[in-house]
A and B are shown apart, each in its own frame.
Chain A
Amino acid sequence: MTEPLIQLKHLSKFFPVDTDLLGRTTSLLKAVDDLTLDIFPGEAFGLVGESGCGKTTVGKMMVNLYQPTSGEIWFEGQDLAKLSTRARRGRCCDIQLIFQDPYASLNPRMTVGDIISEPIRINHLVRRDQIADRVGYLLNAVGLSANYRNRFPHEFSGGQRQRVGIARALAMQPKLIVCDEPVSALDVSIQAQVLNLLSDLREEFGLTYLFIAHGLNVVKHISDRVGVMYLGRLVEVASKRELYRNPLHPYTKALLSAIPVTNPEQRTKRILLEGDVLSPIDPPPGCRFAGRCYAKAGCTGCACESEMPELVEVSPGHFLSCYLFDEGRRVLAGEVS
């Protein structure tokens, strides 16, 4: 088996939200809690969850915008936290980020050419006299005309701006690109264009993607494997085919059934989740989903509300964090499988 390109080992990120008089933290927002994940070279890994589940925080830790509270990030066999600042910065070139909002992520006072060439200049990626060629090449690669280099972001539509953002990420010749909801701000007809572009670029440049999204339908198109997050925890990881055909976690099932289908005859009896997502501030012990779980009753004697279920492999490549499928527990509970 090939070595993973990037490994997240027990990664956590807590934000202090409240302190007492002495400045001691009294309240923690657990954005990401003990997340372990491998992403392999050439793969597109989809990370799905609702707002506030920590998926963006994972992305930001990978590109070094956040420091993990605990846990390690290994990239090509190196622990990123152990690298010197200089080496770490070099590694940053290998991991790039595409932002969600193409209106906010481009400097309105810089031309598109400057936006794309800035990282090239700073990191001395090509010789000075070749920068212009490189920018033209990158613009073409994302489907824009090289003549656009002297235009400003406001002259472009949302889809075109997102292409500029992609070109800027590509400028660093990265190995891994973290795509943080790259199409959720775009219109449907433009979404398809950008998704197809990302697929093409992946083949052309041999890229690996971490593709973050809040809906399972967008991820389905581009990903090889999919992970579902809920309140800072991974609840299910499986290959795309397995996850969509055989979702096991109650939350994954609810997410899948919440996607509106474009067939009025199939206005299905969907799984309607009660209530809202819990606050990630000082979450209770036990399964984070327990408060909204509709399958909880089906596993009497489970520790859903007192103990966090581990992420275990239930079938090859299919990881799940739910007591419903935890053999040992079911036996304990007197349930014969």
Chain B
Amino acid sequence: MADNVLLEVRNLSTDFVMKRGTVHAVIDMSFTVHEGEILAIVGESGSGKSVASLSVMGLLQPPGRVVSGEILYKGRNLLKLSRGEMRDIRGNHISMIFQEPMTSLNPVYTIENQLVESVQTHMKLDKKAAAARAVDMLRLVGIPSPEKRIKDYPHQMSGGMRQRVMTAMALSCDPDLLIADEPTTALDVTIQAQILALINELRGKIGMAVLLITHDLGVVAETADRVVVMYCGQVVEEATALQLFERPLHPYTLGLLRSIPTMEDSDADEPLYMIRGMVPNPLNMPKGCAFFDRCDRRMERCRTEMPPLYAAAGRRLRCFLFDPDRTGAAS
């Protein structure tokens, strides 16, 4: 793995201040993305994974606000940049693809219009060169006969094709980092497999890093090098993909993995493992560990105290089970 840190997020906290109270959507989150690496952020809805990625992109809408922390991209703090400078970063350096390929494209313009616009905004190319580049990008993402398809409107394309167009648009200015927010969630499984293979292939071809936001641990296992698991706005476990799937340690990660119906050959029709209960109300978070109510291995201490992130077993874990001071620490 490359040692060159591309993106470093330090102690990022993002709040949503609303009439009914303040939601701490992201709490003290730190992670790094190295060059050419695929880092996945996994979590269920409301875990703050999308808010974290929007914070990095500077696309957070009020009432959302970054309240503290630093986002260092190649050493520059993105939070300190002016709007114009940030616009230069977006697209040229960091770009993003969104979950809904249906709604992220403008329905009244052709694909060519939209692709050429983004190419011309960020690169000094004349219209002809920009159009040629647009065709090249479509070819890169595996759209057959791109010269013809580029004249299409978004509604003439299928979901998978639209997601490819989105990807082409995001890649058109050679970003170093691609943020993919649930890129396959709206797609069918066979198309999902195509898009994931594409992202993997492009990573190899143009050497970009990918920050993959997803709720699907299967997608993570297929693509990611390292994984950050989030629960209620906090990082609860961070490990390499191999470590995490071989031996998930945080009770939440473990529960998540066990509750996925496996494809393994089991004849016994035993019930699926389930994490009991529900995610706590974000306006009314418990005082201690956010996972306390649902945890199998909770201790009295977890009720009142928030566990810090421990470095244990070659990873980061937010759980008192891995407190080095704890006598007889969990195996």
Stretch at the interface among B69-77, B86-94, B266-274, B319-327: B266-274
Which residues of A in the span 256-287 have a Cβ within 8 Å of any Cβ on B? 256-265, 267, 270, 272-273, 275-277
Identify which of A51, A193, A214, A244 contacts B263 (C-beta below 8 A): A244
B274 touches A255 (CB 8 A): no
B84 at the A interface (CB under 8 A) = no
Quote the shortest CB–CB distance from B252 to chain A (angstroms): 9
B183 at the A interface (CB under 8 A) = no
Cα–Cα, bound, A256→B189 (Å): 9
A188 at the B interface (CB under 8 A) = yes
- B interface, CB within 8 angstroms of A: 44-45, 144, 158-161, 188-194, 196-197, 215-219, 221-222, 224, 241-242, 245, 255-257, 259-263, 265, 267, 269, 271-276, 278-279, 294
Chain A residues near B191 (CB, 8 Å)?
A: 50, 276
Identify which of B189, B222, B275, B294 contacts A267 (C-beta below 8 A): B222
Residue pairs across A and B with CB atoms within 8 Å: the count is 122
A196 touches B245 (CB 8 A): no
A150 at the B interface (CB under 8 A) = no
Chain B residues near A254 (CB, 8 Å)?
A: 190
A259 touches B44 (CB 8 A): no
Quote the shortest CB–CB distance from B259 to chain A (angstroms): 4
Cα–Cα, bound, A50→B189 (Å): 7
Identify which of A218, A257, A272 contacts B261 (C-beta below 8 A): A218
B158 touches A277 (CB 8 A): yes
B274 touches A258 (CB 8 A): no
Identify which of A214, A244, A275 contacts B265 (C-beta below 8 A): A244
A272 touches B194 (CB 8 A): yes
B222 touches A189 (CB 8 A): no
Q: Is the interface of A mostly helix, strand, loop or mixed?
A: helix
Chain B residues near A160 (CB, 8 Å)?
A: 278
Cα–Cα, bound, A244→B224 (Å): 27
Identify which of B193, B217, B242, B272 contacts A270 (C-beta below 8 A): B193
User: Which residue of the partner chain B has the closest CB to A256?
Assistant: B263
Cα–Cα, bound, A193→B256 (Å): 12
Quote the shortest CB–CB distance from A318 to chain B (angstroms): 17
A217 touches B261 (CB 8 A): yes
A260 touches B218 (CB 8 A): yes
A221 at the B interface (CB under 8 A) = yes
Chain A residues near B275 (CB, 8 Å)?
A: 189, 192-193
Chain A, interface size category, equals 35 or more
B245 touches A263 (CB 8 A): yes
Cα–Cα, bound, A193→B274 (Å): 6
B263 touches A215 (CB 8 A): no
User: Which residue of the partner chain A has the closest CB to B188?
Assistant: A50
B242 touches A258 (CB 8 A): no
B255 touches A189 (CB 8 A): yes
Quote the shortest CB–CB distance from A4 to chain B (angstroms): 22
B256 touches A189 (CB 8 A): yes
Quote the shortest CB–CB distance from B49 to chain A (angstroms): 12
Quote the shortest CB–CB distance from B76 to chain A (angstroms): 33
B189 touches A258 (CB 8 A): yes
B193 touches A261 (CB 8 A): no
Quote the shortest CB–CB distance from B150 to chain A (angstroms): 17
Identify which of B44, B188, B215, B279 contacts A277 (C-beta below 8 A): B188
Q: A257-B193, A260-B218, A262-B218 are in contact. List 6 more A-B contacts (CB 8 A).
A: A159-B278, A187-B44, A196-B271, A214-B188, A260-B221, A260-B222
Identify which of B44, B190, B263 contacts A217 (C-beta below 8 A): B263
User: Which residue of the partner chain A has the closest CB to B191?
Assistant: A276
Cα–Cα, bound, A302→B227 (Å): 47
A-B CB contact pairs (8 Å), 19 listed? A187-B279, A188-B217, A188-B256, A188-B259, A193-B275, A196-B272, A214-B188, A254-B190, A257-B193, A259-B189, A259-B218, A259-B263, A260-B216, A262-B245, A263-B245, A264-B221, A264-B222, A265-B242, A273-B194
User: Which residue of the partner chain B has the closest CB to A219?
Assistant: B261
Identify which of B189, B217, B255 contacts A215 (C-beta below 8 A): B189
A245 touches B265 (CB 8 A): yes
Cα–Cα, bound, A75→B253 (Å): 45
Cα–Cα, bound, A263→B257 (Å): 10
User: Which residue of the partner chain B has the closest CB to A194?
Assistant: B274
Among A193, A264, A277, chain B packs the most CB atoms within 10 A around the CB of A264
Quote the shortest CB–CB distance from A162 to chain B (angstroms): 12
Quote the shortest CB–CB distance from A91 to chain B (angstroms): 30
Quote the shortest CB–CB distance from B245 to chain A (angstroms): 6
Cα–Cα, bound, A267→B242 (Å): 11
Which residues of A in the span 174-231 have a Cβ within 8 Å of any Cβ on B? 187-193, 195-196, 199-200, 214-218, 220-221
A241 at the B interface (CB under 8 A) = yes
A191 touches B216 (CB 8 A): no
Which residues of A in the span 300-330 have a Cβ within 8 Å of any Cβ on B? none
Beyond A50-B188, A51-B188, A276-B158, whether A261 also contacts B261 by CB under 8 A is no
A123 at the B interface (CB under 8 A) = no
Cα–Cα, bound, A286→B29 (Å): 55
A157 at the B interface (CB under 8 A) = yes
B245 touches A188 (CB 8 A): no
User: Which residue of the partner chain B has the closest CB to A273?
Assistant: B190
Identify which of A189, A199, A216, A256 contacts B44 (C-beta below 8 A): A189
B221 touches A262 (CB 8 A): yes
Cα–Cα, bound, A259→B264 (Å): 12
Which residues of A in the span 32-76 have a Cβ within 8 Å of any Cβ on B? 50-51
User: Which residue of the partner chain A has the closest CB to B281?
Assistant: A157
